[in-house]
Amino acid sequence: MTGFDIMFYVIAALTLFSAAVMVFSKNIIYNAMGLLAAFFGVAGIYVMLGADFLAATQLLIYVGGILVLLLFGVMLSQRFSGTEMRTGTLQVVPAILVCAGIAAILLRMIWQTPWQKVEIGAPAPTTKTIGTLFMTDYLLPFEIVSVLLLAALVGAAFIGRRDAR
């Protein structure tokens, strides 16, 4: 049991516990807090996999952007005083059976597949490589994603405007 293994189990337990809180809690804000901890856990997993730039990106965009957006969405879509902060759940038992079935299929596939091993070295800092790749091999996806973000920005601002009729 090296330090790497212990860290992985700790981070994985944190992520799974917070994802469970997110799914099974009835209070919306507790769902959002569970999601926050799950995002942190996933950022930790990225660090363990040697993707340092991606871990910081995950924190910046998911925690600092999407989660704030979700919280604003929750707070702006509640009627006040006496509002139901609880979210209902429908047909929980069939859903759990279906998801358990899908999980069983996925886990069996993961265990049975003979993954071919490649010689992996120590994790290296990835920022310079990612920057170079963005400007050489992945230039077209980069430009397309910029246009996509612009379209999403304009579209979201238009759809969410106050005088929607």
Q: Is 114 in the site for other proteins (CB under 8 A)?
A: no
Quick one: which of 10, 103, 135, 139 contacts other proteins (CB under 8 A)? 103
10, 14, 138, 139: which one binds other proteins (CB under 8 A): 138
Q: Is the dihedral angle over the CA atoms 63, 65, 71, 73 positive or is it negative?
A: negative
**DSSP letter string over 125-159?**
--HHHHHHHHHTTTHHHHHHHHHHHHHHHHHHHHH
| Contacts with other proteins, 146-165, as mask; x by CB under 8 A | --xx-xxx-xxxxxx-x-x-
**Cross-strand pairs, 86:** 27
Q: Does 10 bind other proteins (CB under 8 A)?
A: no
Segment 29 to 88, residues that bind other proteins, using CB under 8 A: 29, 31-33, 35-36, 38-39, 42, 45-46, 49-54, 56-77, 79-80, 87-88
How far apart are alpha carbons 153 and 142 in whole angstroms? 17
